[in-house]
Amino acid sequence: MSPVPGTTTGSGTTAPDSAQAAAPLSAPALPAPSAPTASAPSEGPSSDARRALATTERIRRSVRRLPHLLLGGATRSAAIVALVLLWEAAPRLGLADRTFLPPFSEVAAAWWDLAADGQLADNARASLVRSLSGFGLAVVCAVPLGLLIGWYRPVADVLGPLLEVFRNTAALALLPVFVLLLGIGETSKISIVVYACTWPVLLNTISAVRTVDPTLLKLAKSMDLSAARVFQKVILPSSVPMIFTGIRLAGAVSILVLVAAEMIGAKAGLGYLINASQYNFAIPQMYAGIVTISAIGVAFNQLLVALEKRLSSWRVPAGG
């Protein structure tokens, strides 16, 4: 288990890091916008001159912000750099068994080889196709279903306990059942991803619809809107942030579950790569697979977080 020494340092430092990174960023951003507006009303002969002024101001602002950006990037990556250094040093200093935890440089070299001969890309593609199709299928089915269940209160009341049971049944515990029913091919793997991704999306969607601000519903009623209009103009937009939180959770789940599924009887995929490498005692290759999965997981999550932030900017005061 490679990240054991690192996880503690990692999680311990990232939180204050991001807080520090956010603070200096907002400081120079504040006074800057007032500058062009202040100069605008004083002289109004040429709008070109004003625009030029605004442009130079913008450039100057980004230049002034550059050191802060660099600093922010540095603080944010400090913990990761520390982890990599520790990983490199520990086996070399004999703090960890070199056969089970090779130094990071060896893992990197193995990763490079895997990438060069196309193995990595092939396996990553196999995994991504499975997890993305499972994830996509789950989102496409669970969001409309959740909207429907949430909208019809009696349905939600009847199905509530059942959904609780399914939600609390770990998807991986059902993996053998899926294999039994659907074999060890693609179908069972994509199915388990669909299954695992469905619950966070479905439950978040249902509760998003059910927790719409009642005064907004009263407002819509006072305006004599039809049920379809209420749904389109009030319920749907107010549910978006919470639905997206569910989608983001599902994104993490899709990779988690898939890797586990690929470790049981698969001929391709990153889970297979990790498992096969361990079986063949190709330890650096195994770590290379693990690192790749982490990277994909982080990237996917970042993407969804960015999307979520965009869609729910009205909910939390933007910028804090």
Partner 1 sequence: MPGTTTQSPTPKIVFKDVRKEFTVKDRAGNRRTSRFTALDGVDLEIADGEFVVIVGPSGCGKSTLLDLLAGLDRPTGGRILLDGRPVTGPGPDRSVVFQQYALLPWRTALGNVEFGLEATGVPRRPRAARAREFLGLVGLSGFEDRHPHELSGGMRQRVAIARSLAYDPGVLLMDEPFAALDAQTRESLQDELLRIWQRTGKTVVFITHGIDEAVYLGQRVAVMTSRPGRVKQVVPVALGSRTATDDLRSSPEFARHRHRIWSLLHDEVTRAQRLEKEEVSV
CA angle 44, 50, 56 (to 5 degrees): 160
Min separation Cβ 46 and partner 1, Å: 24
Min separation Cβ 236 and partner 1, Å: 10
The one-character DSSP state at 171 is G
Q: How many helices (H) and strands (E) does the chain have?
A: 13, 0
Q: How far apart are CA 274 and CA 280, in angstroms?
A: 10
Q: Are 84 and 295 in contact (CB under 8 A)?
A: no
DSSP code per residue over 103-140: -HHHHHHHHHHHHHTTHHHHHHHHHHHHHHHHHHHHHH
Which residue, 38 or 63, has its beta carbon nearer to partner 1?
38
Which residue, 134 or 246, has its beta carbon nearer to partner 1?
246
Min separation Cβ 225 and partner 1, Å: 6
Q: Are 265 and 189 in contact (CB under 8 A)?
A: no
Min separation Cβ 224 and partner 1, Å: 4
Min separation Cβ 216 and partner 1, Å: 6
Q: How far apart are CA 294 and CA 115, in angstroms?
A: 16
169-183 per-residue burial string, b: 16 or more CB within 10 A, e: under 16: eebeebbeebbeeee
Supply 276's token pair.
């096969």
Which residue, 41 or 45, has its beta carbon nearer to partner 1?
41
Which residue, 142 or 235, has its beta carbon nearer to partner 1?
235
Min separation Cβ 222 and partner 1, Å: 5
Please name the residue that has the structure tokens 């199915």.
191
Q: Are 126 and 269 in contact (CB under 8 A)?
A: yes
Please name the residue that has the structure tokens 């900017």.
313
Min separation Cβ 316 and partner 1, Å: 8
Min separation Cβ 317 and partner 1, Å: 5
Q: How far apart are CA 263 and CA 274, in angstroms?
A: 8
Which residue, 160 or 319, has its beta carbon nearer to partner 1?
319
Measured in residues, the chain has a length of: 320
Q: How far apart are CA 97 and CA 102, in angstroms?
A: 8
Min separation Cβ 219 and partner 1, Å: 4
Residues of this chain that interact with partner 1 (CB under 8 A) are 213, 215-216, 218-219, 221-225, 229, 233-234, 237-238, 240, 314-315, 317
The one-character DSSP state at 169 is S
Q: Are 153 and 209 in contact (CB under 8 A)?
A: no
Dihedral sign, CA of 14, 19, 23, 26? positive
Which residue, 74 or 316, has its beta carbon nearer to partner 1?
316
Which residue, 241 or 284, has its beta carbon nearer to partner 1?
241
Which residue, 48 or 224, has its beta carbon nearer to partner 1?
224
